[in-house]
């Protein structure tokens, strides 16, 4: 009733069709005392005799309902005729049936950005001088529709989450079907089919047979799980002194404390340095890793790396050969290897998992963002059989004491199963075509003044501008505005302009993205 009132529709009655439900009628009467409630039972069969019989049995109720409807129709204003004469449309009711205050739809739409400013704290956004957020009213395929009617291309897949495209019909259908059976159930002591099916599907793509999937909520929590597992693994092996982790320059693994410790970006996390555990940062170099593990023998629990592409650190890229060599160093020194595939998993780099390009077998794999196609939040940490074996014990004190309220959310897992089936149908042709497009259209820009580098891997294209300030470079804000002027949503990582569209992006949209990036680069690198 409140929703209808907000759209200038004030119901004159509520009719419940079905078996008698006095409780529902009483609840409606409590919330909307001025709205009469009627109970009508449908006929058993929709043929003439059954309908006539049902109508006769409920004749007094139908007569009362018709009387109310007739009176309302006779006294209602004629809004369409009034508008045709140029008169103002009748005002909308200021309050809903339940007494909650509402404004008109147009007033609400015009004020969403302002209401956002006074009530919402956005991620990675200054409170002192924020850009007004764009109000999104709908999404479909690679497009977002804004409140002013503009349709812009989501060139960054809504922070790298939307895998195939917004509201992909296969995923939406899976969500709708699952919602008819589930909402949420805890995952401690209970299980459900979608959670099991998705775990089986992901494990089948790993380079080892066996292992287990531990579900969580997002990429950062998947990393937290991996870090805790890595340390507890060594505790179970009788080596609790392995308290150090090794990560790499340019790494970003999330915003929770363990993830911050192995990320250690001075801009993002420098303020929290006194609170972070020990983690060594090295260049992405197998030689430097060899030296570090030799110097700290028996002290390192695990090495963690975003394979092939370091995302938030500026879309820095390394080769499969470098990845393979780093993994081989960890094997020689008996240290666990964690592949943070939160961004690179799901085919972004050309393979289903980026580590596949190097033919390696990580001990732990962190996944998130695209597990459920970006439709719902879901993350997972995949543990190899050797890691899992350390917990095969009857000692209850050696349990992995970790969990989340919404672990393995059934709806997210159901969408994930459908997503994994889409991925299993093949993606190399798609990612290969996008990669070739980026190489043809953007790679030549590397020779232009003001551009330090152009990097391409799979669906990802990055242009590093010759601008000071790193992530805080002011050029990023300017590029965002220029992108929107060309109908493309971009969110540069400071001086690094990048695109990572959904797999289902059209060639026409790729052309628009490339044009917007090219023109933005030309504008910001033009001599003043």
Residues annotated as part of the active site = 124, 252, 340, 369
- Residues 62, 56: Cα–Cα separation, whole Å: 9
CA 76, distance to chain mean position in Å, is 46
CB neighbours of residue 294 within 10 Å: 11
DSSP 249: T
Q: Distance of alpha carbon 96 from its chain centroid, rounded?
A: 34
Contact 452, 431 (CB under 8 A): no
281: its two tokens: 């940062």
Q: Is 230 exposed, middle or buried (0-12, 13-18, 19+ CB in 10 A)?
A: buried
Assess contact for 217 and 378: CB atoms under 8 A.
yes
Residue recorded with tokens 């922070």? 159
Cα–Cα distance measured from residue 430 to residue 335, given in angstroms and rounded to the nearest whole number: 36
Separation of alpha carbons 330 and 245, rounded Å:
12
Strands 496-499 and 460-465: antiparallel
275 touches 257 (CB < 8 A): yes
Picking from 262, 442, 518, 481, the residue whose alpha carbon sits closest to that of residue 366 is 262
User: What whole-number distance in Å separates Cα of residue 415 and Cα of residue 418?
Assistant: 5
Q: Would you list the DSSP string of 476-514?
A: HHHHHHHHHHTTEE---BTTEEEE---TT--HHHHHHHH
């Amino acid at each position: 009733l409140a929703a209808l009132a907000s759209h200038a529709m004030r119901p004159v009655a509520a009719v419940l069709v079905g078996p008698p439900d006095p409780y529902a009628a009483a609840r409606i009467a409590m919330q909307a005392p001025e709205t009469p409630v009627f109970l009508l039972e449908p006929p058993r069969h929709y043929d003439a005799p059954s309908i006539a019989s049902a109508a006769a049995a409920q004749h007094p109720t139908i007569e009362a309902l018709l009387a109310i409807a007739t009176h309302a129709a006779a006294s209602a204003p004629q809004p369409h005729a009034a508008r045709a004469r140029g008169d103002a449309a009748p005002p909308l009711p200021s309050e809903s049936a339940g007494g909650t205050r509402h404004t008109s739809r147009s007033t609400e739409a015009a004020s969403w950005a302002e209401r956002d400013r006074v009530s919402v704290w956005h991620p990675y956004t200054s409170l002192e001088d924020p850009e007004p957020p764009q109000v999104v009213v709908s999404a479909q395929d690679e497009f977002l529709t804004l409140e002013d009617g503009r349709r812009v291309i989501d060139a960054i897949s809504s922070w790298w989450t939307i895998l195939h495209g917004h509201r992909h019909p296969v995923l939406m259908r899976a969500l709708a079907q699952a919602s008819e059976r589930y909402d949420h159930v805890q995952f401690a002591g209970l299980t459900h089919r979608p959670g099991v099916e998705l775990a089986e599907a992901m494990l089948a793509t790993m380079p080892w047979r066996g292992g287990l999937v531990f579900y969580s909520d997002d990429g950062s929590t998947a990393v937290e799980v991996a870090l805790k597992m890595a340390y507890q693994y060594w505790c179970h092996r009788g080596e609790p002194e392995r308290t150090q982790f090794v990560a790499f320059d340019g790494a970003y693994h999330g915003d929770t404390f363990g993830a911050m410790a192995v990320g250690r970006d001075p801009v993002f996390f420098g303020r929290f340095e006194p609170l972070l555990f020990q983690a060594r940062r090295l260049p992405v170099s197998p030689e430097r890793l060899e030296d570090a593990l030799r110097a700290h023998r028996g002290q390192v629990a695990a090495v963690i790396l975003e394979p092939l592409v370091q995302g938030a650190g500026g879309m820095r890229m390394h080769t499969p050969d470098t990845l393979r060599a780093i993994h081989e160093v960890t094997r020689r020194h008996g240290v666990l290897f964690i592949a943070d595939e939160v961004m690179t998993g799901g085919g972004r780099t050309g393979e289903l998992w980026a580590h596949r390009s190097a033919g390696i077998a990580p001990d732990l794999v962190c996944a998130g963002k695209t597990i459920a196609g970006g439709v719902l939040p879901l993350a997972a940490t995949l543990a190899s059989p050797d890691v899992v074996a350390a917990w095969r014990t009857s000692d209850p004190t050696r349990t992995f004491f970790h969990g989340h309220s919404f672990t393995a959310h059934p709806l997210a897992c159901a969408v994930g199963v459908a997503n994994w089936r889409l991925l299993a149908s093949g993606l190399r042709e798609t990612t290969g075509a996008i990669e070739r497009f980026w190489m043809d259209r953007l790679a030549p820009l590397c020779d232009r003044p003001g551009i330090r580098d152009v990097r391409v891997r799979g669906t990802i294209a990055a242009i590093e501008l010759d601008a000071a300030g790193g992530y805080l470079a002011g050029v990023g804000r300017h590029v965002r505005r220029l992108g929107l002027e060309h109908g493309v949503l971009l969110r540069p990582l400071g001086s690094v302009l990048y695109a990572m569209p959904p797999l289902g992006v059209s060639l026409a949209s790729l052309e628009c993205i490339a044009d917007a990036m090219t023109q933005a680069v030309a504008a910001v690198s033009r001599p003043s």
